[in-house]
Amino acid sequence: MSAEKVLEVMKAAGRPMKAGEIAAAAGLDKREVDKAMNVLKKEGKIVSPVRCAWEPAK
């Protein structure tokens, strides 16, 4: 599923990322990344340390 791929890309980056950056790095469509991020947010797997940027929860 794309949620796992999004999480992998975020962990590899080691910094907060925006959805567009994640989409480019993962080779996915931005809408697909947005859906995956919504799932990850609900599961508490990602957090937003700065506005519009996300990183894996610690």
pLDDT digits (tens, 9 = 90+) for 17-58: 999 999 999 999 999 999 999 999 999 999 999 999 999 998
Q: How far out from the chain centre does Cα 32 lie?
A: 11
Residue 1 has pLDDT above 80, yes or no: no
- What pLDDT was estimated at residue 2? 92
**Nearest Cα residue to 44 out of 58, 28, 23:** 58
Number of separate domains in the chain: 1
The CATH number of residue 6's host domain is 1.10.10
- What pLDDT was estimated at residue 31? 96
Q: Is residue 57 part of a domain?
A: no
Q: Is residue 56 part of a domain?
A: no
* Residue labelled with tokens 């799932």: 39
- What pLDDT was estimated at residue 58? 86
Beta strands in the chain (DSSP E): 46-50, 53-56
- What pLDDT was estimated at residue 4? 95
Angle at 14 between CA 11 and CA 16, to 5 degrees: 95
